[in-house]
């Protein structure tokens, strides 16, 4: 059997230091390991199964195309149960995962997705109405408001009301619990998850979580009654989940519904908000990119057609490059082998963890020359396979909301650029003489700093 490069993990305080380093400087941590050990290596922990890390396209193909019974993924996501609950799609495996995924897919694709287009544009316009000329605004706050409103509309089928407004406010505040690298430590160190009252980070998190739970349970009760009276259309995800039955004719419990709704709300807006913030940064950091993008958008004339926007080649390249250079999720969910498997001629036993490094794959110089350079043109010059470019993961765990996220990014970008000429604030403009803005950890993801601001240079008539 071939011997795979191995990192023997240390124990005690040295291991804690490395973990803190991975939390505070995740990209630097990943780059150093990849440079030293290559694109396929394992990390061993005392009294724990080995963890295989790879950014090799051939290995990724073998992992993504393996039969569904080869892995368990839910067990590796248990650390997220505090946020999404024990019944989330993220924690399911096997037949249960397959059935739930099949249920959730349709509203995020095809005709259902296209019906979201006008809603996305309207929500974007409404959020942008408050932007004032020459007044700085926090980009993340704007993109988060847009994506939160969109996902609430897609999931619940509502976009107004007292409960809706309160839920939107609470969800946004809850996620701010993990808005810095330091605060993100709450996720990785369970011993920090202590309730020391409402003014402590975890205590405040629990209070917010409980109020959100109360609102969602109230919404579930009300929606069940409306569906029973057949006094409501059943097009939104919430209603479809309420009506779904398993092979025994049983529907989902209130707890199962709550956990799935929370998962969709968090996963459906947080990542897209970060990606959009990056996109506006890069487009305005490179004037030539903005010029090409505006030229393409102007070619459509005044009456923007949603389908035409979705098919614009350069806009698609800008979105693709945004998701490549700093993928919001730097790695896939860990897959735990349930049976022996050979990958790249290496033999692995059951209970071996497999993780694909999305960031390292997206910075392979053989695939992406000058990978640290933002260059949309690379996506016009060649097509990448599903094992060379994976911003949404792959296999049976690929993000179910990927099509919505891509459509949303394109429509939001087109809508804002058609209304405003934006500019980086003076500090960011000055940074062009030095180096681009760097990402920071935000919970399990990497994102632009929350302090990132832009301003409206002028409004377009």
CA distances from 405 to 38, 108, 115, 147 (A): 32, 9, 14, 9
Greater pLDDT, 104 or 348:
348
Cα–Cα distance between 71 and 63 in angstroms, integer? 9
Q: Give the CATH architecture of domain 6-459.
A: Orthogonal Bundle (1.10)
Quote the pTM value: 0.91
Tokens 């923007």 belong to 304
The pLDDT of 174-190, averaged and rounded, is: 75
Q: What is the pLDDT of residues 136-145, one digit of tens each?
A: 999 999 999 9
How high is the mean pLDDT of the chain? 88
Tokens 């809603």 belong to 119
Does pLDDT of 174 surpass 80? yes
Cα–Cα distance between 92 and 98 in angstroms, integer? 9
Does pLDDT of 2 surpass 70? no
Tokens 């993928």 belong to 327
| Residue 206: how many other CB atoms lie within 10 Å | 15
Task: Give the helix/strand (H/E) hosting 114.
Answer: helix 110-114
Position 307 scores a pLDDT of: 86
The pLDDT of 28-57, averaged and rounded, is: 90
Position 231 scores a pLDDT of: 63
Domain boundaries, the chain: 6-459
Does pLDDT of 98 surpass 80? yes
Confidence of residue 431 (pLDDT cuts 50, 70, 90): low
Tokens 């070619």 belong to 299
Position 248 scores a pLDDT of: 79
> 51-54 and 353-356 as β-strands: parallel, antiparallel, unpaired?
parallel
The pLDDT of 149-168, averaged and rounded, is: 84
Task: Give the helix/strand (H/E) hosting 57.
Answer: helix 57-64
Per-residue tokens: 153 = 């509309």
């Amino acid at each position: 059997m071939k011997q795979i490069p191995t990192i023997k993990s240390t124990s005690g305080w040295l291991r804690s230091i490395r973990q803190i380093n991975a939390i505070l400087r995740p990209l630097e941590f990943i780059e150093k390991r990849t440079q030293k050990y290559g694109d396929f290596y394992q990390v061993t922990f005392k009294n724990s199964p080995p963890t295989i890390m790879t950014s090799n396209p051939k290995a990724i193909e073998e992992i993504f195309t393996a039969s569904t019974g080869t892995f368990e993924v839910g067990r590796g996501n248990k650390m997220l149960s505090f946020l999404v609950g024990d019944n989330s799609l993220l924690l399911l495996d096997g037949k249960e995962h397959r059935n739930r995924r099949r249920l959730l897919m349709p509203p995020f694709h095809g005709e259902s997705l296209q019906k979201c287009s006008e809603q996305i544009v309207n929500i974007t316009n409404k959020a942008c109405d408050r932007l004032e000329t020459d007044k700085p605004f926090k980009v993340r706050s704007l993109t988060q408001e847009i994506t939160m409103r969109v996902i609430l509309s897609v999931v619940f089928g509502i976009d107004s009301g007292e409960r809706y407004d309160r839920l939107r406010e609470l969800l946004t505040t809850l996620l701010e619990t993990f808005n810095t690298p330091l605060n993100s430590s709450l996720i990785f160190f369970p011993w920090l998850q202590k309730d020391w009252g409402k003014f402590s980070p975890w205590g405040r998190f629990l209070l917010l979580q409980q109020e959100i739970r109360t609102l969602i349970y109230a919404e579930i009760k009300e929606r069940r009654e409306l569906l029973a009276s057949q006094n409501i259309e059943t097009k939104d995800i919430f209603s479809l989940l309420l009506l779904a039955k398993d092979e025994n004719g049983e529907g989902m419990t209130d707890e199962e519904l709550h956990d799935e709704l929370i998962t969709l709300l968090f996963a459906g807006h947080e990542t897209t908000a970060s990606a959009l913030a990056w996109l506006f940064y890069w487009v305005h950091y490179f004037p030539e990119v903005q010029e090409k993008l505006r030229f393409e958008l102007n070619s459509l004339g005044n009456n923007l057609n949603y389908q035409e926007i979705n098919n614009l080649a350069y806009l698609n390249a800008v979105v693709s490059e945004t998701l490549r250079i700093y993928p919001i999720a730097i790695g896939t969910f860990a897959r735990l082998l349930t049976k022996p498997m050979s990958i790249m001629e290496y033999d692995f036993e059951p209970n071996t963890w497999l993780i694909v490094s999305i960031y390292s794959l997206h910075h392979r110089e053989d695939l992406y020359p000058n990978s640290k350079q933002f260059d949309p043109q690379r996506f016009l010059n060649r097509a990448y396979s599903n094992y060379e470019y994976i911003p949404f993961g792959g296999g049976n765990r690929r993000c179910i909301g990927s099509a919505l996220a891509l459509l949303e990014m394109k429509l939001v970008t087109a809508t804002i650029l058609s209304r405003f000429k934006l500019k980086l604030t003076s500090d960011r403009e000055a940074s062009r003489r030095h180096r681009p803005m760097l990402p920071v950890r935000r919970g399990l993801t990497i994102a632009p700093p929350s302090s990132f601001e832009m301003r409206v240079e002028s409004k377009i008539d």
